[in-house]
Structure 1
Amino acid sequence: MQLFMIFSTLISVIIVSYYILKKYNPIFIFLFSGIILIIFAFYITGTPIPKSPTREDVSFLNVLLDSYAFIVATFKEQLSGTGLIIMSVAGFAAYMKHINASAKLAFLANKPLGKIQNKYLILSGTFVVGMALKIVISSYTGLLLLLLACIYPVLIALKIRPITAVCVLSLIALDYGPKDANSITMANMVGESENVVGLFLNYQIYSVLAYVVCIAILIPFYFAWIDRKDRIKGVLNDEVEIPEIIDPKCPTLYIFFPWLPVVLLFATYFMGIKLDVVSANFISITFVFIIEFIRHKDAKKLGEDMVVILKGMAEIFVSVVSILIAASVFAKGIESLGGIGILVNAMKSFGEEGEFAWIAVLLSITILSFLVYFASVIMGSGIAAFNAFGKLAPDIATKLGIAPIALVLPIEIASCLGRAASPISGGILALAGFAKVSPMDIIKRTTPLLLIAMIINIAVAFYLS
């Protein structure tokens, strides 16, 4: 029976991955497969339908109704919790884009880069600046589009090859900080949805810093080596059109606005005041509304700005929150099959002899991290892969005797790195189109660095565990 449970779990993951690779809508695939797996597990393994009442009548109709009731409960839970938080972040981000505040911030961030003499050090500087901006501009694709408009022209003007420039931009991959969707989801997974700032300061920041420092050091050597190889092959092409550098139209003061929610969250955290992410975003929006009214003296414009915010919230529901809900259903279906639990118990028993306990922990971190990494490559979405498999991690961590965050964090980081290695990721497609190169040209050059980053990620997570 145990072999059958493991086999059915693996087959389910393979089938779902196949259809997503075939570009079926992941929301539909996750929801549909989740329902099937939950019902299948009920009849085969006897696992109760999640969040359903105990029934004497276990007819197929009642089981089917209970499975749909679980979906409804998942929608309610996510929309009133993590989903609302993510939508508020997206609404604020859309408003910052609308008033050009985020674009102005990215534009001014490139100023120090022109003072660096060595072009490969400029690439490292670009990477570090981009990763710093990521804490306030949380969308991977959104940030890359801003950098393409504001920093990419500077890099080209400094005689950096387009393919090299977009490769470095693609490495600005990690989602982190208290207002990021993945971070918010991670906090919810480990049962600390009110402590996003604390998780960032106590855990996430170490993984991010290790990634930034190591990749920033490697970038000059790695891309200088790549250029030498291309020069030998005779494929270097310095004849490129330099895009126009556009200064966004808004006061310089506006560069501080994207930081408002982050500053509020950190300030209240250290002051011992309880402030949630949703409130921080809406307080920030209110403040910017006041400034915009003073600037334009037009109350009607504020109403139009509100529509921009609501549209931003609606778009993130379609692209992120709906995937989060669907992936939750799929994850519960996979969990119901029991195969994951059997494998974890086997690893746990292998490591119960004290001195070998660390092997079970390291294996779990490594296997789950690479599973999510390759799932992100296939799906082109980090948050989809993270939610599909990350929800299994807290139970696995508990069985291994480690804190849930120690296993969820490396999976969250791995989902970001996998997205940066996906030729169908929105961000990679944007970079490839802008530089007029193939997405695979970017992936081939950056994959060695991303795999090194995976090793760093696993090492830091194991140390923190």
Structure 2
Amino acid sequence: MSESAFIFSLFMVGVTAIGLYRKFNPQGLLMLSGLLMLTAAFFMQVHPVTPDKPTGTVTFDIIRMVEETFLSNLARAGLMIMTIGGYVAFMNHIKATNALVYISMKPLGLFRNYPYLAATIVIPIGQLLFITTPSAAGLGLLLVASVYPVLVSLGVSRFTALSVIAAATLFDQGPGSANTAMAAGLIGQSNVEYFIVHQLPLVIPTSLVIMILFYFSNRYFDKRDRKKRQELSSQASGDLAESSVEKPDVPLFFALLPILPLALLIVFSPFVGLFQPVVALGTTTAMLFSLFLSLTFVLLHTRNLRTTFDAFGSFWKGMGNVFTSVVTLIVASEVFSKGLIHLGFIDFLVSYSSRIGLSGLTIAAVFALIIFGAAMLMGSGNAAFFSFGPLLPGIATQLGLPVFALVLPLQLAASMGRAASPIAGIIVAIAGVAGVSPVELARRNTFPLVGGIIFLILYHLITF
């Protein structure tokens, strides 16, 4: 393992972090850093820099990896994120969001005096939904379309509303999670058994602690921001609050449209099982179905084909805006992540930690912190855990630990680190749609998540 490659990767991480702090264009900065690390990985011969379809020369191979990253993201998550972003813009255009806020404010009026309590309750509700919709960015955007305007209307800031939405996707848990599937395979259990026997007993108390930390953290940051930036606070909580008071000039049943995709995904989820195995519904399909149904309602309401087509245009504009601000950043962050992996950054951390003579329990704690930080750097819980995962059974055996004692905290720490990463898909997506800085949102999440990961490690080491 090349120490010079590790030092160079640390240098690139530092330069990139400084550039992001100084508000350089994140897409360009992450892409350049990733390309430089991939180039360095080729010359240092740490890992082979080879795309799925090699071109025959390393120069074009590196660019080909960027192309394949674009294609894989567009085919996998990019279209889904763009569709949800377009749907959010469409809901705003037809004032369905206003209808949702107007309807919701009546039963939720009692929370006007306790807005941060209402925001915190979103975390466990969102975690339940995450089990049935195991896509962090997808669920985050669905909650931005449905829950976010209600929370802002209750009086919390945009950052608080977004932070609890991100917190709803903290734990990759449930049988449908890719990280759960890998962790269960490493332990030799089924997904369901791993979820019930190992995940839930650790996730439930950690979630309660995280809810408390997010409650007080968001109150503190909002209070500080009101003092420093009165204009921003007024924009964040005042605009939608005013719109929630007035009855929108659209039928009130339009309030159902923003939550329709989420309802469809839950009803047709394999974990609900009402229509299984007859119907298999994906997020993009649910969004497009809801879009076409909503267009029908708009046409019936306006009785004007031109107005309906103009409303349809807002969907395409929303898709374009999300591609520009979100999808491109996800691609750039994945190139950055590939650079770190090919330079052996994760491999070096694992091998060095196992050589310095720490006890088994201490190394388990150190590994959990390392993978938490790795997920922050790479913006992906899957990438961080999938890099570590295959090594864990052997390391656990060497340390004399049960395999689950090492796999479980690392699997959960990886998804927690994602919510504190300014380049993670979930953070970029919800911040982009809401029009706030992903760096600021990640910074807002960092304090309660650090407290959460410390509690998770200590609780696990005491109870396993």
Normalised-by-shorter TM-score class? 0.5 to 0.7
Deviations 1:146-200 (A, max 9, x none): 3576222xxxxxxxxxxx87785465242657xx9x99xx9678899xxxxx99x
Deviation at 1:263, TM superposition (A): 2.1
1:262 CA displacement: 1.8
Q: Which residue of 2 aligns with 1:125?
A: 118
Q: Could you say what secondary structure the match of 1:258 adopts?
A: coil
Q: Which residue of 1 aligns with 2:76?
A: 81
- Per the TM alignment, residue 104 of structure 1 is displaced from its structure 2 partner at its CA by 2.6
Provide Cα deviations, 1:271-326, integer angstroms capped at 9, x if missing partner.
23322211111111111122222222222223212211111111111111111111
State how 1:422-441 maps to structure 2 within 5 Å. Answer: none
Alpha-carbon distance in 2 for matches of 1:11, 1:265: 43
Aligned length: 400
Q: Answer yes or no: is the 8 Å Cα contact 2:123–2:211 preserved in 1.
A: no
Distance 2:384 2:12 in 1: 15
What does 1:25-424 align with in structure 2 at a 5 Å threshold? 25-45=25-45, 47-51=47-51, 62-115=57-110, 119=113, 121=114, 123-128=116-121, 138=141, 146-147=149-150, 150-152=153-155, 169=161, 171-174=163-166, 176=168, 213-214=208-209, 244=242, 245-268=245-268, 269=270, 270=273, 271-272=276-277, 273-347=279-353, 359-370=362-373, 372=375, 386-387=379-380, 391-401=383-393, 407=410, 410-417=413-420
Classify 1:97/1:175 alpha carbon distance in 2 versus 1 (closer, same or farther; 3 Å): farther
RMSD: 5.0
- Letter of the structure 2 residue corresponding to residue 332 of structure 1: K
Q: Kindly provide the amino acid, as one letter, of the partner of residue 386 in structure 2.
A: P
Task: State the 1:83 CA deviation.
Answer: 0.8
* Cα distance in 1, alignment partners of residues 147 and 282 from structure 2: 28
CA distance in 1, matches of 2:48, 2:363: 29
Q: CA deviation at 1:115?
A: 3.4
- Alignment-mate amino acid for residue 312 of structure 1: G
| Helix, strand or coil at the partner of 1:172 | helix
1:257-279 Cα distance to aligned partner (Å, 9 max, x none): 22222222222222233222111
- Aligned-pair distance for 1:31? 1.3
The residue matched to 1:326 in structure 2 has which SS?
helix
Letter in 2 for 1:101: A
Q: Deviation per CA, 1:200-226, whole angstroms, max 9, x where unpaired?
A: x96999998767644555688889999
User: Any conservation in 2 of the 1:347–1:360 contact (CA below 8 Å)?
Assistant: yes
In structure 1, what is the Cα distance between the partners aligned to 2:66 and 2:327? 14
Structure 1: distance between partners of 2:204 and 2:319: 30
- 2:451 counterpart letter in structure 1: I
CA contact 2:385–2:410 (8 Å) conserved in 1: yes
Q: CA deviation at 1:32?
A: 1.3
The Cα offsets for residues 73-94 of structure 1, whole Å up to 9 and x where unpaired, read as: 2111211221111111212222
The answer on whether the counterparts of 1:390 and 1:412 sit within 8 Å (CA) in structure 2 is yes
5+ residue gaps, structure 1: 153-163, 193-197, 228-239, 376-384, 433-438
